[in-house]
Structure 1
Amino acid sequence: MNELHRNLADRIVRHIRTSDMAEGQHLTEASLQDLLGISRQPIRSALAMLAEQGILERVPNKGYFLRNLVTRADSVVPSDETSEEGVYLRIADDRLSRLLPDRVSENDLMRRYGVSRPGLRRTLTRISAEGWIERNEGRGWTFAALIDSVDAYRECYELRQVIEVHGLRCPGFRLDRTVLADLRRRQEMVAEGGWQRLSQMELFETNSEFHEGLAALSGNRFLQNTVQKLNHLRRLVEYRQTLNITQVLGQNAEHLGILDALDAGDTARAADLMFEHLGRAKDRKARAEMF
Structure 2
Amino acid sequence: MNELHRTLADRIVRHIRTSAMTQGQHLTETSLQEILGTSRQPIRSALGYLADQGLLERVPNKGFFLRNPALVSEAASTDDTSEVAIYLRIADDRLAKRLPDRISENDLMRRYGISRLGLRRVLTRISGEGWIERNEGRGWTFAALIDSVEAYRECYELRQVIETHGLRSPQFRLDRNVLADLRRRQQIVADGGWQRLSQMELFEANSEFHEGLAELSGNRFLLSTVQKLNQLRRLVEYRQTLNTDQVIDQNAEHLAILDALDASDTAQAADLMFAHLGKAKQRKAREEMFLPQPETAAAL
The answer to whether the Cα contact below 8 Å between 1:3 and 1:119 also exists between their aligned partners in 2 is no
Alpha-carbon distance between aligned partners in 2 of 1:38 and 1:185, rounded to the nearest angstrom: 24
Alignment partner, residue 178 of structure 2: 179
* Runs of 5+ consecutive residues of structure 2 not aligned to the other structure: 291-300
Alpha-carbon distance between aligned partners in 2 of 1:46 and 1:129, rounded to the nearest angstrom: 15
Provide Cα deviations, 1:85-140, integer angstroms capped at 9, x if missing partner.
Answer: 33222211221232222222211111222222233233223323322223334432
Alpha-carbon distance between aligned partners in 2 of 1:267 and 1:247, rounded to the nearest angstrom: 25
Alpha-carbon distance between aligned partners in 2 of 1:253 and 1:181, rounded to the nearest angstrom: 16
The answer to whether the Cα contact below 8 Å between 1:102 and 1:142 also exists between their aligned partners in 2 is yes
* Runs of 5+ consecutive residues of structure 1 not aligned to the other structure: none
Alignment partner, residue 68 of structure 2: 68
The answer to whether the Cα contact below 8 Å between 2:127 and 2:133 also exists between their aligned partners in 1 is yes
Alignment partner, residue 234 of structure 2: 235
Alpha-carbon distance between aligned partners in 1 of 2:131 and 2:7, rounded to the nearest angstrom: 20
Scaled by the length of structure 2, the TM-score of the pair is: 0.88
Alignment of 1:7-86 (within 5 A): 7-33=7-33, 35-36=35-36, 40=40, 42-78=42-78, 80-83=80-83, 85-86=84-85
Alignment partner, residue 141 of structure 1: 140
Alignment partner, residue 215 of structure 2: 216
Alpha-carbon distance between aligned partners in 2 of 1:263 and 1:208, rounded to the nearest angstrom: 20
| Secondary structure at the counterpart of residue 70 of structure 2 | coil
Alignment partner, residue 200 of structure 2: 201
Higher RCO, 1 or 2 (CA under 8 Å, sep at least 6)? 2
Q: Are residues 1:284 and 2:287 paired? A: no
Percent identity over the alignment is 79
CA distance change for structure 1 residues 132 and 42 in 2, over 3 Å: closer, same or farther? closer
How many residue pairs get matched?
Answer: 290
| Secondary structure at the counterpart of residue 148 of structure 1 | coil
Q: Compute the RMSD of aligned alpha carbons.
A: 2.2
Alpha-carbon distance between aligned partners in 2 of 1:167 and 1:38, rounded to the nearest angstrom: 26
Supply the AA of the counterpart residue of 1:28.
Answer: T
Question: How far does residue 2 in structure 1 lie from its aligned partner after superposition?
Answer: 6.9
Alpha-carbon distance between aligned partners in 1 of 2:72 and 2:135, rounded to the nearest angstrom: 40
The answer to whether the Cα contact below 8 Å between 2:51 and 2:57 also exists between their aligned partners in 1 is yes
Q: Which moved more, 1:226-235 or 1:133-142?
A: 133-142
Supply the AA of the counterpart residue of 1:25.
Answer: Q
CA distance change for structure 1 residues 4 and 77 in 2, over 3 Å: closer, same or farther? farther
